[in-house]
């Protein structure tokens, strides 16, 4: 991976992401790949990279996307995640429920 162009901040970011993935049980190669892709995307978003894809610039940032998809993020679980849980638990009437109603039915 061409990490020579990375600044000290990006190196630290890479190590932080990689360490977090390893703690969660990812394989070393997978953790390194995900960390490098995340850092490269952030470099593209901030204008540090020479090349960038449209998706890298217009998509949600990595931190925001992770927060939206986590089970404990700012908004909690998404409605789709709650619906999937309700489906597994066979909650009746789940298709007509709002996010708040799904949360209440699952708690």
Least confident piece of the model among 40-44, 75-79, 80-84, 89-93 = 75-79
Distance CA 17, CA 61 (A): 14
What's the pLDDT score for residue 1? 47
Distance CA 48, CA 102 (A): 43
* Burial classification of residue 26, based on how many CB atoms lie within 10 Å of its CB (0-12 exposed, 13-18 middle, 19 or more buried): middle
What's the pLDDT score for residue 86? 92
Neighbours of 37 (CB within 10 A): 14
For the four alpha carbons of 25, 30, 35 and 38, in that order, the dihedral sign comes to negative
SS3 content of the chain, % helix, strand, coil (to 5): 65, 0, 35
26-67 pLDDT, tens digit per residue, is 899 999 999 998 888 888 887 787 777 776 667 777 667 666
């Amino acid at each position: 991976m061409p990490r020579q162009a990375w600044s000290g901040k990006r190196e630290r970011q890479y190590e932080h992401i990689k360490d977090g993935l390893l703690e969660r049980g990812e394989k070393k190669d997978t953790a390194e790949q995900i960390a490098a892709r995340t850092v490269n995307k952030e470099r593209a978003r901030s204008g540090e990279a020479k090349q960038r894809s449209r998706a890298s610039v217009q998509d949600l940032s990595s931190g925001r996307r992770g927060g939206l998809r986590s089970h404990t993020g700012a908004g909690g679980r998404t409605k789709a995640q709650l619906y999937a849980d309700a489906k597994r638990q066979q909650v009746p009437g789940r298709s007509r429920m709002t996010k708040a109603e799904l949360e209440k039915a699952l708690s």
